[in-house]
């Protein structure tokens, strides 16, 4: 259900807006498929869930959150300044994905969006950040939540021309969300943001993948029936 979370550099994360504006791999003009912020950490960062502007997304990736700029929060530690976020992709069932692409049914999109939110809520439950104390011991700290930007794509990868064979490669139709999770998290009871590293987010991913895929499939069927 959840792919291996890939680390994303600042340049790559900011490149999402450039690619989307060029019509790459998303319903950029469809109001129902606009990218949006999500995650329970948003209010603490001074952000709101829902669609965002390019400037808001840029500040999000750079860690220039409103709450940091106002002094309500501080960034205590940010490992690997070039690593801005992690790409957490939720894989929807292929038959459901194709049905949505063919029909462009708003109800099915709402089902996909609700399922993505449910998966990311579970991801939040397992999210941690590890810190090393003065004695060199590693502590796993629970966090208040995560913040992410969701981009909806309509194919598995970018279509690229193959001059020798005179065809386009890639672009296998598949509707799915990419959740660009900010590396910054807030330990419970703290006012200082810490930066997650790869192992932190892998712990959350492994815990989430332990959830029965059958339960997710049942959730999808229930959401679909509710929206029918």
Q: What is the pLDDT of residues 32-55, one digit of tens each?
A: 677 899 999 999 999 999 999 889
Provide the domain count of the chain.
1
Count CA within 13 A, CB hemisphere, residue 77.
Answer: 12
Residue 209 host element (H or E) = helix 198-209
Lookup result for tokens 């913040």: 147
d(CA 167, CA 209): 37
Question: 174 pLDDT band (50/70/90 cuts)?
Answer: confident
Which has the higher per-residue pLDDT, 43 or 223?
43
Banded pLDDT at 70 (limits 50, 70, 90): very high
More confident: 206 or 76: 76
Residue 88: inside a domain: yes
Residue 50 lies in a domain: yes
Please count the residues of the chain: 228
Decide if 120 is inside a domain. Answer: yes
Phi-psi region of 132 (alpha: psi -120 to 50; beta: other; left: phi over 0): beta
Q: Determine, yes or no, domain membership for 102.
A: yes
- Strand, helix or coil at 204? helix
Residue 190 has pLDDT above 70, yes or no: yes
Ramachandran sector of residue 124 (left: φ over 0; alpha: ψ -120 to 50; beta: rest): alpha
Q: What range does the domain containing 198 cover?
A: 6-161+169-227
Res. 56 pLDDT band, cuts 50 70 90: very high
Average pLDDT value for the chain: 80
DSSP class of residue 127 equals -
Look at residue 48 and tell me if it is in a domain: yes
Residue 11 included in any domain: yes
- Evaluate whether residue 1 is within a structural domain: no
**Helices first, then strands: H and E counts in the chain:** 8, 13
Phi, psi angle pair for 120, to nearest 5°: -70, -30
For the ranges 5-14, 20-29, 185-194, 197-206, the one whose mean pLDDT is highest:
185-194
Predicted confidence (pLDDT) at residue 167 exceeds the cutoff of 50? no
Residue 24 lies in a domain: yes
Model pLDDT, residue 193: 93
Residue 159 pLDDT more than 60? no
């Amino acid at each position: 259900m959840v792919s291996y979370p890939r680390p994303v550099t600042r340049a790559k994360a900011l490149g999402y807006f450039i690619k989307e504006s060029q019509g790459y791999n998303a319903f950029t003009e469809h109001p129902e498929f606009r990218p949006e912020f999500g995650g329970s950490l948003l209010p603490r960062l001074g952000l709101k869930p829902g669609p965002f502007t390019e400037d808001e997304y840029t500040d999000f990736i750079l860690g220039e959150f409103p709450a940091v700029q106002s002094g309500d929060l501080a960034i205590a530690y940010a490992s690997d300044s070039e690593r801005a976020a992690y790409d957490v992709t939720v894989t929807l069932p292929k038959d459901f994905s194709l049905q949505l692409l063919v029909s462009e049914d708003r109800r099915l999109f709402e089902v996909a969006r609700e399922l993505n939110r449910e998966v990311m809520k579970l991801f939040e439950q397992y999210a941690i950040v590890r810190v090393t104390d003065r004695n060199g011991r590693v502590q796993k700290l629970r966090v208040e939540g995560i913040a992410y930007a969701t981009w909806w794509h309509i194919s598995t990868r970018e279509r690229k021309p193959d001059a020798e064979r005179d065809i386009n490669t890639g672009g296998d139709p598949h509707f799915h969300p990419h959740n660009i999770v900010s590396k910054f998290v807030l330990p419970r009871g703290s006012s200082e943001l810490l930066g997650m590293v790869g192992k932190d987010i892998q712990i959350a991913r492994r815990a989430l993948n332990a959830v029965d895929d059958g339960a997710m499939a049942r959730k999808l069927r229930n959401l679909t029936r509710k929206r029918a």
